[in-house]
Homo-oligomer: A and B are copies of this chain.
Amino acid sequence: MKATAVAGANIALIKYWGNRDEALRLPMNSSLSITLDTLLSTSTVMFDGDLEEDEISIDGTPAEAAVRSRVVEHLDRLRRWAGSEERARVASYNNFPRGAGLAASASGFAALTAAATRALGLSPDERELSSWARTGSGSAARSILGGYVEWRAADRHPDSYAEQIAPPEHWELLDCIAIVSTVPKSVSSAEGHRLAPTSPLYRARLAQVEAALPQMRQAILERDFQRLGELAEAEALSLHAIMWTSRPSLMYWMPETVRVLAAVRERRREGLSAYFTLDAGPNVHVLTTPEHGEQVSRRLAQVEGVQQVKVARPGPGVHLVEQHLF
């Protein structure tokens, strides 16, 4: 059985950082994101009784050891669920750089989970798919759904899954991504999650998130852009504060990151509707409204050190497609 799925990366407005259960990727806090329409991962999975071991290629080359073992572990979980022992051939393709804090593991594991479960003959509902995707990469739980998505923290595996709180067409926001580096980061998000509780500020952050999340949900439902933007900036800075103050300290910012953040605030003082957020990496996501999108993109592209500006909008959740990668 062969199946192929496509999933979009997502940009978290309320971030996931730290697990209550590392192995099952049960997060310490609930989070909230927008699934993006133009940063896509495609995954084709075929189970084959003749294979001696899983064959995994990513972006055209065999997966490096760490990624490979993470994918194999995920396939093992799905095989156990399906009662299968067949090895798989997996090809995954991203239309954007991996490992640079652009959430390729979210879209990648969402697509992999949807393709693999279909190829195994399973028919999971969205909740099951989301909680299974979560076990591969936490934020993949969110990329299962389209539009505006909330992922609930819970103590047990199947109870922690994401749900759509508003479809993509509810609100057309733009995410203009100022890419300042496409070099894979030296410390993975997975390692960062493990370090989170070592920050003396981490418990305070969890309390902050608990207060901010319902406010962010409401800002989305009411299409209150300023409220969303202010909450998103505060939240991103809180995330990076935890990274810097964890032990050892994690520093994902580059000089250009600071330059972009300053530029966003300056443009805002000039009247542009633009707010930044950052994931676990140096690139800056700048949220704006359609009427300001062109100007924001153009101004970002002028900032020294910005290599490229990618524009994304709220997009659909994971979906199966007929065109396979092999």
Contacts and interface: CB of A to CB of B under 8 A. Distances in A.
Interface stretch (A33-41, A53-61, A258-266, A286-294): A258-266
A157 interface: no
Interface stretch (A10-18, A20-28, A115-123, A248-256): A248-256
Given A201-B204, A204-B203, A234 B258 contact: no
A257 interface: yes
A238 interface: yes
Contact of A258 (B204, B233, B253, B265): B253
A245 B255 contact: no
A57 B247 CA distance: 46
A131 to B, nearest CB: 29
A236 to B, nearest CB: 9
Copies in the complex: 2
Contact of A201 (B205, B249, B255, B305): B205
Contacts of A211: 200
Contact of A238 (B201, B208, B254, B258): B201
Interface in A186-208: 200-205, 207-208
Given A201-B204, A255-B258, A258-B255, A237 B233 contact: no
A244 interface: yes
Contacts of A202: 204
A244 B237 contact: yes
A241 interface: yes
Contacts of A265: 251
Given A251-B258, A255-B258, 16 more contacts: A200-B211, A201-B201, A201-B204, A201-B205, A234-B245, A234-B249, A237-B244, A238-B245, A240-B241, A241-B242, A241-B245, A251-B261, A251-B265, A254-B262, A255-B259, A257-B258
Interface of A: 200-205, 207-208, 211, 233-234, 237-238, 240-242, 244-245, 247, 249, 251, 253-259, 261-262, 265, 305
Q: Name the 5 nearest CB pairs between A and B, nearest first.
A: A241-B241, A204-B204, A255-B255, A200-B208, A237-B244
